[in-house]
Amino acid sequence: MEKIILTGDRPTGRLHLGHFVGSLRRRVELQNSGEFSKIFIMIADAQALTDNADNPEKVRQNIIEVALDYLSVGIDPEKSTILIQTQIPELCELAFYYMNLVSVSRVQRNPTVKTEIQMRGFEKSIPMGFFSYPVSQASDITAFKATTVPAGDDQAPMIELTREIVNRFNNIYGPTLVEPEILLPESAACMRLPGTDGKAKMSKSLGNCIYLSDSPKEVKKKVNSMYTDPEHLTIDMPGHLEGNCPFIYLDAFATDEQVRRYLPDYDSLQALKDHYTRGGVGDGTVKKLLINVLEELLVPIRERRAYWEQRIPEVYEILRKGSEKARETAAQTLDEVRAAMKINYFADADLIKSQAAKYGK
């Protein structure tokens, strides 16, 4: 079977390190692997509006920011189709039909939706659109017949719901839709990178992010103020690794080769961790290593961003062409869905004939 990717991001801010390890890094690898016949990368502006309905300007401004971040990490518009969700109205129609296949209580049980409702203070009054965004996400995935969705583990319940919708749809209306699989990052640190506050996941809405477009000065400041081990008061004291932000980030970003290059006393990250837990390593040393490692990653990203920032009209043209191309695929799926659901009245000559026969004509 053809292998197809769909992934995306909400244009609610610039992209951050959580996106990079949770999804972007893998997307670029998969894009360049040649294993996939089609790759769709969606800027989910309709989804962003479900909790930013009163702030459309924020969404509008961030479309270009997300697009610049995509191009700067190495997403290649020749190999991947970048699209804007609202420019494909077929997605809304699909979501409208899928809503008949999901119960309210099923969405209420979704742990990611639960947390997000809390975070946004929606407990008393949840906008219908926000509540139904997991269903809309199912239409995004299935419209492109995606087999593979590279994402962080907060997306696992969404993909599960999509699979349920696909199964229900195919059972009722006949085999039409494709069941997708989530492709999770390799390590726990990458599945849900914590914020610089060490608490919840790094998230645009929480203001605890290191952005891919942050300057070296900002990166340094953010790393230096990271949460470490509050009981590790002097260098000689044994330190704890659990919840220790710089070490979690090193797990996600550093290679042993980099550890050896910046700290020749250690032959691996594990050796540094062992010394830290025994006592004798200061948090400053660990943070300095992390800054070096992050800069190695971010320098080429910043350079590519600077290139595209000088070519904004060209970036919009990439988005327009990508959306047009994606719309063709979604329209094709919608035709199949309408036929399976028997709502393609005018495309069905047999229907007209049989109705006419009923009345003897």
Minimum distance from residue 352 beta carbon to ligand ATP (Å): 46
Name the residue type at position 304: R
Q: Between residues 196 and 285, which has the closer beta carbon with respect to ligand ATP?
A: 196
Give the separation between CA 62 and CA 84, rounded to whole angstroms: 12
Query: Which position among 84, 94, 193, 286 is part of the footprint of ligand ATP (CB under 6 A)?
Result: 193
Query: Which position among 154, 197, 251, 296 is part of the footprint of ligand ATP (CB under 6 A)?
Result: 154
Give the separation between CA 325 and CA 319, rounded to whole angstroms: 10
Query: Which position among 9, 65, 140, 229 is part of the footprint of ligand ATP (CB under 6 A)?
Result: 9
Q: Choose the binding region for ligand ATP from 123-131, 196-204, 276-284, 332-340 (rule: CB under 6 A).
A: 196-204
Give the separation between CA 195 and CA 42, rounded to whole angstroms: 24
Q: Between residues 10 and 38, which has the closer beta carbon with respect to ligand ATP?
A: 10
Give the separation between CA 295 and CA 348, rounded to whole angstroms: 60
Q: Between residues 197 and 336, which has the closer beta carbon with respect to ligand ATP?
A: 197
Phi, psi at 211, each rounded to 5°: -85, 150
Regarding 203 and contact with ligand ATP (CB under 6 A), the answer is: yes
Phi, psi at 82, each rounded to 5°: -95, 125
Q: Choose the binding region for ligand ATP from 57-65, 203-211, 292-300, 313-321 (rule: CB under 6 A).
A: 203-211
Regarding 14 and contact with ligand ATP (CB under 6 A), the answer is: no
Task: Please count the residues of this chain forming the interface with ligand ATP, following the rule CB under 6 A.
Answer: 20
Burial class (CB in 10 A: 0-12, 13-18, 19+), 104: exposed
Regarding 151 and contact with ligand ATP (CB under 6 A), the answer is: yes
**Among candidate residues 303, 298, 300, 319, the one with its CA nearest the CA of residue 66:** 319
Give the separation between CA 68 and CA 71, rounded to whole angstroms: 5
Residues contributing to the site for ligand ATP (CB under 6 A): 9-10, 12, 18-19, 21-23, 151-152, 154-155, 191-193, 201-205
